[in-house]
């Protein structure tokens, strides 16, 4: 029974330490050429070989090193194998920080003040108090809910959107295609924390932007495939969007001449919203294999039919 991991060397060493201490009954391997493929029950990587199902016929759990699994969800798995996304405190904590940073940047008009600094202009721009700035979150999973928790103390009116009904204290929750418009209409700042699936691809488009209040902010932390980047630029240029913080693009990185790099109302970061932390990721993975060995579902189990 072997756990095969392919990741950065320092991450691998942390995992090795945790497996040796807390899961010694599972062999730990890093070199695919040095293991008997039939022994590999657990595999962790960011992307997987096309012939996964035939190469590792006895796989039971396939772990993504990240929270997103769009890069692997369509890979053919052996019949018994199940896909698990990364749910661990390091990712959650970084995403909370990024969301608060981005909300504050748009709420306090950082793009406007940066432009003024560059032109040597000392002038107050308009203020909006937090209780008058409505924030909507698309995706009320592990990360969307953590972001709402982090924003709650500031007093922003909060709403959110998911596939299934939710009841979150202090958050106006809507769900399903028929619930989306209500969240958009109530989002002076909209945050995308959806998984990329057949249903959500391209969701951040001109039609959606038109349903936001005029001048709304957009914070995109999902996946590049959610957004129509030309529509973002058009909505910015005609004032329907007032500012954008974007962490994920398609492709990554954008070509050097892409206008998103230089638009004065855009803050662009290179997909750094979160990265899994080796220590807490290793603890979460060991705990998940323990759950699996005890006949329980691992945390972060993916439903291939839903695509997330």
Active-site residues, by number, are: 223, 271
By CB under 6 A, is residue 29 in contact with ligand NAP? no
CB 40 within 8 A of CB 56: yes
Look up tokens 């709402």; give the residue. 148
Which parts of 204-223 interact with ligand NAP (CB under 6 A)? 221-223
Dihedral of the alpha carbons of 82, 88, 93, 96, in degrees to the nearest 10: 20
Grouping H, G, I as helix, E, B as strand and the rest as coil, residue 171 is strand
Grouping H, G, I as helix, E, B as strand and the rest as coil, residue 273 is coil
Nearest by Cα to 192 from 228, 238, 236, 155: 228
DSSP state of 24: T
Which structure tokens are listed for 282? 């290793």
Interface with ligand NAP (CB under 6 A), residue from 44, 274, 282, 289: 274
Strand partners, 241: 216
* For helices 89-107 and 142-151, angle between their N-to-C axes, nearest 10 degrees: 50
Nearest by Cα to 236 from 211, 203, 204, 264: 264
By CB under 6 A, is residue 68 in contact with ligand NAP? yes
By CB under 6 A, is residue 248 in contact with ligand NAP? yes
* Residue 281, CA atoms < 13 Å, CB-side half-sphere: 26
x/- contact string, 201-220, with ligand GLV (CB under 6 A)? Answer: --------------------
DSSP state of 4: E
Q: How far apart are CB 91 and ligand NAP at their closest, in Å?
A: 5
Interface with ligand NAP (CB under 6 A), residue from 64, 65, 159, 162: 162
Q: How far apart are CB 99 and ligand NAP at their closest, in Å?
A: 10
By CB under 6 A, is residue 288 in contact with ligand NAP? no
Which structure tokens are listed for 263? 């638009």
Look up tokens 């769900």; give the residue. 175
Interface with ligand NAP (CB under 6 A), residue from 150, 193, 233, 235: 193
Interface with ligand NAP (CB under 6 A), residue from 197, 227, 240, 249: 197
By CB under 6 A, is residue 243 in contact with ligand GLV? no
Interface with ligand GLV (CB under 6 A), residue from 52, 61, 67, 106: 67
Interface with ligand GLV (CB under 6 A), residue from 29, 84, 91, 168: 91
By CB under 6 A, is residue 194 in contact with ligand NAP? yes
Instruction: Tell me which residues touch ligand GLV (CB under 6 A).
Output: 66-68, 91, 274, 276
The contact set with ligand NAP (CB under 6 A) reads: 67-68, 91, 95, 139-144, 161-164, 193-197, 199-200, 221-223, 247-248, 271, 273-274, 308
């Amino acid at each position: 029974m072997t756990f095969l991991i392919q990741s950065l060397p320092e991450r691998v060493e942390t995992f090795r330490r945790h497996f040796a201490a807390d899961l010694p009954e599972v062999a730990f391997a890093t070199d695919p050429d040095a293991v008997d493929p039939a022994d590999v029950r657990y595999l962790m990587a960011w992307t997987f070989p096309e012939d996964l199902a035939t190469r590792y016929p006895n796989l039971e759990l396939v772990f993504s090193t990240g929270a997103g699994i769009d890069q692997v969800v369509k890979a053919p798995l052996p019949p018994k194998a199940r896909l698990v996304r990364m749910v661990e405190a390091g990712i959650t904590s970084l995403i909370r920080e990024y969301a608060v940073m981005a909300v504050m940047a748009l709420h306090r008009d950082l793009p406007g003040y940066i432009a003024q600094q560059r032109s040597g202009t000392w002038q107050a721009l308009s203020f909006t108090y937090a209780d008058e700035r409505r924030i909507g979150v698309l995706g009320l999973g592990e990360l969307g809910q953590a972001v709402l928790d982090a924003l709650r103390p500031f007093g922003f009116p909060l709403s959110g959107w998911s596939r299934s009904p939710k009841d979150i204290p202090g958050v106006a929750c809507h769900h399903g295609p028929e619930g989306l418009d209500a969240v958009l209409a109530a989002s002076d700042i909209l945050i995308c924390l959806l998984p990329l699936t057949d249903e959500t691809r391209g969701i951040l488009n001109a039609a959606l932007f038109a349903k936001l209040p005029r001048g709304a902010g957009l914070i995109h932390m999902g996946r590049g495939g959610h957004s129509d980047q030309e529509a973002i630029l058009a909505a910015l240029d005609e004032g329907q969007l007032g500012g954008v913080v974007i962490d994920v693009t398609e492709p990554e990185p954008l070509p050097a001449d892409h206008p998103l790099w230089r638009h004065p109302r855009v803050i662009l970061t290179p997909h750094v919203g979160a990265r899994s932390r080796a220590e807490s990721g290793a603890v979460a993975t060991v705990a998940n294999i323990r759950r699996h060995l005890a006949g329980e579902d691992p945390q972060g189990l993916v439903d291939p039919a839903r695509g997330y």
